[in-house]
Structure 1
């Protein structure tokens, strides 16, 4: 019986604290709306950089799967030696795929490239000068040099051709996007915490006498802090949901126009759908919204809890 009473009291206290948080949220309408607008703008800007970053990483990952190196095989190598070389390459870490390209394939490719001057290709048909090769793609372009060094140690390797300029450009773009996104996220978090803490500070200041009395009669810091924490969390969560809704609409409209324009120019690019990013985005938004709201509330309360 006593346990039931204790549980009921605990739920009543929790209900009171949450209710006070909601009342604070709706009581200070002007400051709350101002905070929601600024918080929404902050989260929206973060969301823009987030989806751009995700798409850049996605496009780079697709290009990485196509980029790699071409390993030319010694002309005197037998079929058994070619197969042995293939197996050795496949065993190297970071190798994604190995595709054999015969001498005939190389000649046919050359014919396509010089289709406007067929006499050039015809001169090579009797004595095909092109060696067979393996086209090797990697799981991580940053390991390209390391993989090349290992392949060059194998027998029957004539030469390795790579697209180092393309690889280095892709690596630099990926690293640049990650660094820029990280810096922007940190800046936006500090701005949001500052905004939330100042908004709640207005509420706390207006109720400073009430807080002093509560402290005097023995109320714990947690009991005093919770309503304001709830207010901060509400601002963060509501701003997150509004932001993700507007971001979704904006993203879908913008990507549709981009794809249409690129298609007209015969350029194909595979962008992510918003639904494919939604689960991750909503988790990140809620963590940020609740985290920023909680920290902002805690900062605004610190002075008054020391009374």
Structure 2
């Protein structure tokens, strides 16, 4: 396709936008609204995923060792734990460290007198690379000699895994619904333009114009609407999110949960790519659907 032909087709697509200002503005506003709703769930989903990962990283399996295990045996247990697939780290906790930790938790008065007769056992605090491997890792650790018992929040771990899965499913479902809505909006908007020019399109078909030549201006129109909607949505969601995140940063809930909201800059590249990809894809799909009827001459 020659450059002057391409230039003409792109120019026609841009002119279509200005010829139908009301329908173009309507499509932009509605598409921006749907993208903003998606963006809301997207940033919530990203923050929940980050929170789940933080909680997951904090989950530990406590491996209690036999009281009569020697130093060399204790060291060997640590080495074997680290060799298990799915184990990220194994931190040794001595009896004295366990006692000091409980004193910090409960207060010196509660455990007063236990320094002389330490009732705690040596242990390893084990963190995992993936919480889904929790049961498998525990089964392997139980096979190691001198392991007395394992203490783990299995119920909490299961709930974390379920929460992460639920967040992804809900976000994907909302994205699918909003894509369908957006395609319908773009399609109906371009249909108005196509309907107004139906006689011109018929004449072009009869004199030998190809479907591609007729379709390109409308594809350009859909793509431009998609790109503008995507960029506007990124700017709006970025400003709104940053303002709200700054207001929530010092709330007691986030501090108690040790949860720091993601910076918008951390998500910007991904959101920009997703929004532009959605905008362009929806624009092309909507234009293609709206043109089918009028190209069948």
TM-score calculated relative to the size of structure 2: 0.97
For residues 72 and 211 of structure 1, what CA distance do their matches in structure 2 show? Answer: 79
**Is 2:209 the partner of 1:184?**
no
User: Which deviates further from its counterpart, 248-257 or 160-169?
Assistant: 160-169
Give matches, 1:97-246, under 5 Å: 97-115=89-107, 118=109, 120-246=110-236
Q: Which residue of 1 aligns with 2:86?
A: 94
Q: Secondary structure at the match of 2:249?
A: helix
Q: Which residue of 2 aligns with 1:47?
A: 39
**Is 2:293 the partner of 1:303?**
yes
Gap runs ≥5 in structure 2: none
Contact 2:254 2:260 in 1 (8 A): no
Residue number among 11, 25, 42 corresponding to 1:19 in the alignment? 11
Q: Which residue of 1 aligns with 2:28?
A: 36
Q: Secondary structure at the match of 1:70?
A: strand
For residues 240 and 68 of structure 2, what CA distance do their matches in structure 1 show? Answer: 59
Q: Which residue of 1 aligns with 2:279?
A: 289
Q: Secondary structure at the match of 1:76?
A: coil
Gap runs ≥5 in structure 1: 1-8
User: Which deviates further from its counterpart, 181-190 or 102-111?
Assistant: 102-111
Following TM superposition, by how much is the alpha carbon of 1:66 offset from its aligned partner in structure 2, in angstroms? 1.0
Q: Secondary structure at the match of 1:271?
A: coil
Following TM superposition, by how much is the alpha carbon of 1:260 offset from its aligned partner in structure 2, in angstroms? 2.3
Contact 2:40 2:237 in 1 (8 A): yes
For residues 295 and 114 of structure 1, what CA distance do their matches in structure 2 show? Answer: 63
Following TM superposition, by how much is the alpha carbon of 1:175 offset from its aligned partner in structure 2, in angstroms? 1.0
Q: Secondary structure at the match of 1:62?
A: helix
Runs ≥4 in structure 1, deviation > 6 angstroms? none
Following TM superposition, by how much is the alpha carbon of 1:233 offset from its aligned partner in structure 2, in angstroms? 0.6
TM-score calculated relative to the size of structure 1: 0.93
Contact 2:191 2:291 in 1 (8 A): yes
Instruction: Calculate the aligned-residue CA RMSD, in Å.
Output: 1.4
Q: Which residue of 1 aligns with 2:251?
A: 261
Deviation readout 1:122-175 (Å, 9 max, x if unpaired):
332222121110001112112111111111011110110011222122112111
For residues 257 and 151 of structure 2, what CA distance do their matches in structure 1 show? Answer: 26
Following TM superposition, by how much is the alpha carbon of 1:81 offset from its aligned partner in structure 2, in angstroms? 1.2
Q: Which residue of 2 aligns with 1:81?
A: 73
Contact 1:262 1:268 in 2 (8 A): no
**Is 2:217 the partner of 1:248?**
no
For residues 278 and 148 of structure 1, what CA distance do their matches in structure 2 show? Answer: 39
How many residues in Structure 1 have an aligned counterpart in Structure 2?
297
Following TM superposition, by how much is the alpha carbon of 1:211 offset from its aligned partner in structure 2, in angstroms? 0.7
